[in-house]
Structure 1
């Protein structure tokens, strides 16, 4: 039985976990979660009481949540693919450092923008939040631009789960109309390189429900209700 990744649309950060799954090449299935409607369903709450994606349902029926936990778990499934590194090595520490930055700084910078997106009934507060978000996103981009001056990929000389996580979040800047890419040439070049990757192209097609050719081990979609029988007692 393959693991199942529950991914959120539209524009969920779970996008990065789909990319990582494709890079690994191991068998997996997907479950499409329309946010926020599907996250309120009893079965989804049973899977994740926090009501967020991604959620990874493992072969034994146990559940793993949060990108910061799911992505390292995926990397450990196929060490030879080198999406992660052995614990205790300098490379592992640098990868953890990068993932922490992406989660606490880069991801959270968009928080005010997503809140503003849902506040059309209060334009003054909405604009205040947008301005706050623009400043936070610009600062995070500046820090990533400086980081890329010394590295070919976000966490070093090879692609890792950090790059998969990053590309799922980076597209939010265009969606919200912030962070002119011309101001961050290294980062923009990195985004363009990732957007040309077959796994990223596949993840976009999956989200947009277009014809998608897997370069990995994608075995198809399953419905949320079909997962009930797989949950560990």
Structure 2
């Protein structure tokens, strides 16, 4: 069985929702505290030298990291969780998936731990990444149709990102007011019964 190393409230919750959506069995291993020196971080570093979650140990013992890589790996055996291969919508899926993790994710990397990146001006770095993230979400809002999911009536792996990320900064009230399409998609995913336990355990 695959082993998913994660921590409550982190991006590992997105991968958990992906696995549930795909009907894949996995074992969740809590490494809360991985971002500070200690046994949890030491254990994670043995698997992933970058010390990041999610870290996935596959059935064959190999290690896979990065949510987008895990999503694309899942699509090999669950192609129904994205628009049809070769379609324009599949191209949009790839574009938005990579755009999300390449643009939005780094704002948390730098904004959540500003002291790691600057000896002065940590608060300024946090504030600037928060503002930039809002601009990114406004752009993403402009790319969406009328739901209920990103690609219409069919849920995809991309939708699991929004279900978790609206609980992160700038928080749900901001999304509801400024990006109603993103908010609607996220709530449609969060309303699905199969995700309730994951969202509750991750305090999302």
TM band (smaller chain)? 0.7 to 0.9
Which gives a bigger RCO, structure 1 or 2 (Cα 8 Å, sep 6+)?
A: 1
After TM superposition, the runs of 4+ consecutive aligned structure 1 residues lying more than 3 A away are 85-89, 109-112, 149-152, 177-180
* TM-score (norm. length: structure 2): 0.82
**CA–CA separation in structure 2 for the residues paired with 1:69 and 1:128:** 32
- What's 1:173 paired with? 169
Equivalenced residue count is 198
Cα 1:78–1:149 change in 2 (3 A) is closer
Residue 139 of structure 1 and its aligned partner are, at CA, apart by 0.4
**CA–CA separation in structure 2 for the residues paired with 1:101 and 1:72:** 14
Which 5+ residue runs of structure 2 have no aligned equivalent?
none
Cα 1:52–1:59 change in 2 (3 A) is same
1:68 equivalenced with 2:63 (yes/no) = no
2:175–2:182 Cα contact (<8 Å) kept: no
1:98–1:154 Cα contact (<8 Å) kept: no
RMSD (Å), alpha carbons:
2.7
Cα 1:181–1:113 change in 2 (3 A) is farther
Residue 174 of structure 1 and its aligned partner are, at CA, apart by 4.6
2:3–2:58 Cα contact (<8 Å) kept: yes
**CA–CA separation in structure 2 for the residues paired with 1:163 and 1:16:** 9
**CA–CA separation in structure 2 for the residues paired with 1:93 and 1:74:** 17
- What's 1:107 paired with? 105
- What's 1:4 paired with? 3
Residue 15 of structure 1 and its aligned partner are, at CA, apart by 1.0
Higher alpha-carbon Rg: 1
1:98–1:155 Cα contact (<8 Å) kept: no
In the TM superposition, what whole-angstrom CA distance separates every residue of 1:172-212 from its partner, at most 9, and x where no partner exists? 1256x99453122222222222221223322123335xxxx
Cα 1:183–1:114 change in 2 (3 A) is same
1:47–1:63 Cα contact (<8 Å) kept: yes
